[in-house]
Amino acid sequence: MNCPKCGKEMQSGYLQTNKIMAFNQHIHKLSLLPKDEGDLLIVNNTVRGANFKGFICKDCGLIVFDYTQSNVKE
């Protein structure tokens, strides 16, 4: 996959997380839990975390992953 930011080849792999992962519109200092419209709790699993298949561009730092496909096993 080519990077949508810089156009270079991206490396495939897994984005791994432990416990909570969220995409928030603003930085929340005390909790990652969604507070605003548009915030999204991606993972809330205190026992095992989650794995997501994705791609990373080591040239510009962009990571692309499908958050609907969690706990991918290889």
Residue 64 predicted with pLDDT over 80: yes
Q: pLDDT confidence of 6, banded at 50, 70, 90?
A: very high
- Model-level pTM? 0.75
Residue closest to 2 by CA, chosen among 52, 70, 51, 64: 64
DSSP state letters, 11-65: EEEEEEEEEEEEE-SS--SS--S--STT-EEEEEEEEEEEEEEEEE-TTT--EEE
Tens of pLDDT along 29-38? Answer: 877 778 888 8
Q: What pLDDT score was predicted for residue 23?
A: 82
The pLDDT tens digits of the residues spanning 10-43 come to: 999 988 888 888 888 888 887 777 888 889 888 8
End-to-end CA distance of the chain: 20
